[in-house]
Amino acid sequence: MHRDAVMTAGLHALLATPAEFALTAHGCQPPAQAQVVVADYDTGIELARQLPQGRFGQAARVLIVTQRDKEWEVRTAMDAGVHGYLLQGCSPDELVRAVRQLSQGMRYLSEAVTRCVADSLSRETLTGRETDVLQLLAKGCCNKSIARELGIGVGTVKTHVKGLMSKLDATARTHAVVVATQRGLIDAGRRPAPFITGEPVQRGVARQSLQ
């Protein structure tokens, strides 16, 4: 169930070679008897959250095959209930091995993904508000602009900046943005949510220096 038609054809061809799997290709929902579903990132997460129960009383196990390798992306998939995670550069043998292990009730993560998850577990997680502040830092906002955008005090912003810099082991605000980008913690399409205060929150935020 990969959204890329070429990937679907390639995955089907590679998994058909061992002649040990019964394969089908579906665009919406997998058949009820499916034991393993191979999908792209977005489809895999959606399926992991809502797959119906299979014939053995267990939901099908989901294997994602994707180019997404950022810490935040991998952790999101794992938290959603995905059982396997492969990068598109994997070998045909690894693909077969991953499907085989999932069909046996196990999990499978590629080596690079395993390192990513292991590294993330050793780090402190940013709070939601720290992430919001980080998003605005990445856009070049100063403390006053961040406070106005989120509807919080400047002192609170400074506290969040100090906290996120400590958790990211960053030496400066710009360094924090670089580290967060490398780890995939910054989502360019996400807009921080303001606190509800009873007063309208001003949305216009000027792009200003990080200094």
**What is the distance, to the nearest Å, from the Cα of residue 132 to the centroid of all Cα atoms in its chain?**
17
- Give me the mean pLDDT over the 138-160 stretch: 93
Q: What CATH code would you report for 124-211?
A: 1.10.10.10
Token pair in block for residue 171: 């030496």
Name which CATH class applies to 5-121. alpha beta
| Whether residue 139 has pLDDT greater than 80 | yes
Question: What value does the mean pLDDT of the chain take?
Answer: 80
pLDDT at 121: 59
Same fold, 5-121 and 124-211: no
- Give me the mean pLDDT over the 100-120 stretch: 83
pLDDT at 71: 77
Q: Domain ranges in the chain?
A: 5-121, 124-211
CA nearest neighbour of 56 among 24, 38, 34: 34
The rounded distance, in Å, linking the Cα atoms of 86 and 26 is 20
Q: How far is CA 37 from CA 21, 64, 99, 159, in A?
A: 12, 8, 9, 44
| Whether residue 189 has pLDDT greater than 70 | no
Q: How far is CA 93 from CA 41, 130, 135, 141, in A?
A: 21, 41, 40, 48
pLDDT at 27: 66
The rounded distance, in Å, linking the Cα atoms of 167 and 202 is 29
For 116-127, how does the pLDDT look when each residue is reduced to its tens digit (9 = 90+)?
676 665 567 788
pLDDT at 145: 93
Q: Where would I find the beta strands (DSSP E) of 75-175?
A: 84-87, 108-109
- Give me the mean pLDDT over the 129-145 stretch: 91
